[in-house]
Amino acid sequence: MPEPQPGRESILRLIPSIDEILQTAEAHRIVGEAGQRKLLALARAACESLRNQIKEEAISNGTSKSDLLASAVKSMQASWSAENRSGLRRVINATGVIVHTNLGRAPLSENAKKAILEQASGYCTLEYDLQTGKRGKRGARAEMLLAEITCAEAAVIVNNCAAAAFLVLTVFAKGKGVVISRGELVEIGGDFRVPDVLAQSGAYLQEVGTTNRTKLSDYEKAITENTGMILRVHPSNYKIVGFTESPDLSALAELAPKKDLLLYEDAGSGAMLDLSEFGLNDEPVIAESISAGVDIATFSGDKLLGGVQAGMIVGRKPLIDSIRKHPLYRALRVDKLAYAAIEATLDAYARETALTEVPVLKMLSMTKQAIEERTSRFAQRLGAQIDKDSDLKIQVIDGTSLVGGGSAPGTRADTALLALIHTKMSEVELERALRFSETPVIARILEDRVVIDLRTVCESEEDELFDILTRLSRFSRQNPS
């Protein structure tokens, strides 16, 4: 009989049992957050991973039982923390992109947050009229405010602008032709393609003009007996420049009723105010579209309007009423939390305090000088805190912020940036370290530096950012936490 060799077989026998893992202090901590079932799955996966590592000889034969237990616990913790990080987490947006689609578009105003929490998170008057004690109209005040601010006869709110466009086309153009300029057959955000939405709604496309130039006569010539609508789409995320032409909305508004057609504008971003002084020259102001004579306009609630995800539909009252009566509306309507936030956001527009109250507008209207002062103050404070021979080198430099995402293509605003260089980390490692901090900081890489744009960092987040950067100044590659 050969002597049992210390080797793969014997070390496999040292793998801790599930029970042993469950007895550790770390397991007791995780169970409180994750629950028993999840903990068990994590412990099993940790053992499995140990077994594989031993088979692949990634763990040496001399490893002790307690080392294996420690290793299992560590891998369990790592899996749990990775899963946690994959959930919805608050982040500090230091990219300077104001309407950042991947980071949740518009941040809410303080009043909107408060309204969600205090007015809508429990029982509320969603469909209840306090005056009469009877059933009330869902979202009545939010929709009334929306109509008032956009100077429309009526308004109705649905899940998002894609839903709004789909609903409008379904209710008014199903089985009919929709005339649209070739320059407006755009794709917005991956899965919203104007021709596809049109086809889904049961309408058919009557494209006119060319990519860069479409005349009123092109629209006129295309109209047939079966045409039901003229559609104008705001190409929100790209721009045709140079030799371009398209008829004014008011010219289309004159043509439409003559041919017994509806004029519908998908305005996208939802500017309630003229934002040209902040560099947004091409954003349709909804009230202007209405006064130019569109019958219906749709736009997002969480782009330039600065509220929550929602699709706003405004226009003539009989049309809005038909939308509300359509069975598809029931499937696309919004919940009480959205109504609460929208109502509070629109209140700021009604009071004319939106520029100082609604974060998107506040960030948009910040001057370069104001950001530069704030950034310099922050840099000075940071400089005083971190050691002279610290690993983190900071500098304030000139740069540009982008408005968005799904809005205002190419609109840039001058800004000041906090530029960071870390002597022990590359710019890629530093960007990652920021992203992996307790509150993730999302920053940009500019050449060999990581840059922080305070335009999109709320003042209430500054201390947190300060602490994160202070910690990073003492962080070296040897001890990644």
Ligand X SMILES: *Cc1c(COP(=O)(O)O)cnc(C)c1O
187-195, 284-292, 350-358, 464-472 -> range binding ligand X (CB under 6 A): 187-195
**Interaction between residue 456 and ligand X (CB under 6 A):** no
What's the burial of 463, exposed, middle or buried (CB within 10 Å: 0-12/13-18/19+)? exposed
Site mask for ligand X (CB under 6 A), range 301-340, x = bound? ----------x-----------------------------
- b/e code 229-265 from CB counts within 10 Å (16+ = b): bbbbbbbbbeeeeeeeebbebeebbebbeeeebbbbb
Contact 461, 452 (CB under 8 A): no
- Which residues does residue 177 pair with via DSSP β-bridges, in sequence order? 204, 227
In angstroms, the CA 481 to CA 473 distance is 13
Cβ atoms of residues 415 and 453 within 8 Å: yes
Beta carbon of residue 461, minimum distance to ligand X (angstroms, whole number)? 25
Cβ nearer to ligand X, comparing 80 with 192: 192
Residues from 390 through 429 that contact ligand X (CB under 6 A): 406
Q: Which of 300, 345, 415, 473 binds ligand X (CB under 6 A)?
A: 300
Least distance in angstroms from the C-beta of 101 to ligand X: 8
Check residue 223 for interaction with ligand X (CB under 6 A).
no
Q: Based on the shown chain and the rule CB under 6 A, indicate whether residue 227 belongs to the binding site for ligand X.
A: no
Helix (H) or strand (E) holding 328: helix 327-332
Q: Tell me if 451 contacts ligand X by CB under 6 A.
A: no
How many residues touch ligand X (CB under 6 A)?
A: 16
State which residue, 43 or 310, has the beta carbon closest to ligand X.
310
* 266 sits near ligand X (criterion: CB under 6 A): yes
- Residue 302: CA atoms inside 13 Å, Cβ hemisphere, count? 22
CB 215 to ligand X: min, Å = 22
CA 209, CA 424: separation in Å to the nearest integer? 57
Q: Looking at 71, 236, 375, 473, which residue binds ligand X (CB under 6 A)? A: 236
For ligand X, the binding residue among 11, 188, 285, 392 (CB under 6 A) is 188
Among 283, 450, 289, 298, CA closest to 361: 283
SS3 state at 36: helix
Between 236 and 415, CB nearer to ligand X: 236
The yes or no reply on residue 264 touching ligand X (CB under 6 A) is: no
When the beta carbons of 42 and 164 are compared against ligand X, the nearer one is: 164
User: Which residues between 143 and 172 bind ligand X (CB under 6 A)?
Assistant: 160-162, 165
Identify which range of 69-77, 185-193, 246-254, 351-359 contacts ligand X by CB under 6 A. 185-193
Residue 123 contacts by C-beta under 8 Å, 6 or more apart in sequence? none
Q: Yes or no: say if 61 and 6 are a contact pair by the CB < 8 Å rule.
A: yes
Contact residues toward ligand X (CB under 6 A) are 160-162, 165, 188-189, 192, 233-234, 236, 266, 268-269, 300, 311, 406
